[in-house]
Amino acid sequence: LKHLIVDDKHGLIYCYVPKVACTNWKRVLMVLTSDGRYTDPLAIPANEAHVSGNLRTLSEFSVSEINQRLRSYLKFIFVRDPFERIVSAYRNKFTRSYNTAFHKRYGTKIIRRYRTDPDPEATERGSDVSFREFVQYLVDPRTQREEAFNEHWERVHSLCHPCQIHYDVVGKYETLEADASAVLRLATVEGTVQFPTSGKSTRTDGNMAAHFFKHISPFYQKKLFNLYRMDFFLFNYSTPEYLRTR
């Protein structure tokens, strides 16, 4: 329940999915719940949007309070193509030099486990994990036996429980601006806050995902697809054209 953010003032519940515009949605909800302290979502630094105390989550309420909110609030979630989300998480967490916490926490383990004869510096720093090594880590049964997936690559159905929680709106990253406007209209706050439009030219799309998957063998592509199959199915994403499972 800690992924379900609650706005009691406007009767909203948002389940955040990392790598699906969740920073901007958190900024919008901070504006809506701040009683005027924030007025412009983009004026809120990204790292502040992720400070856990800034927004209330459903896990802070009693069972009866949770049920009452789930019954009466507007519940929404944003999803994206599962493979594009994985590539986006990989690019963000393993190819950016500033993400040293991820390199140390996951990179060192991945390199030690999946690289033949790694040099000592790589195992120490964990900063040059290849996409192939990341995929091996994801599909290895040992990974989830040892610990839960990190939220940046955990399956959406495990983060947001769409089979138990009946979402009123399932927005898509592919149509983010139109869907975000629709949510703000339904919440009758479109006059209060605008959803920030992204100026990013490097956002991960299907072409970029295809480029990354070109170097993944059919065997691992199939394993990865099976791992995320439920997200493809639940949110109506078709099997990517670049997928080679034979």
Residues 161-176 have pLDDT tens digits of 999 999 999 999 999 9
**Exposed (0-12), middle (13-18) or buried (19+): which is 57, by Cβ within 10 Å?**
middle
C-alpha span between 11 and 188 (Å, rounded): 10
What is residue 197's predicted lDDT score, i.e. its pLDDT? 85
Q: Is 76 helix (H, G, I), strand (E, B) or coil?
A: strand
Whether pLDDT at 194 is above 80: yes
User: How does pLDDT run across 51-94, given as a tens digit for each residue?
Assistant: 989 999 999 999 999 999 999 999 999 999 999 999 999 999 99
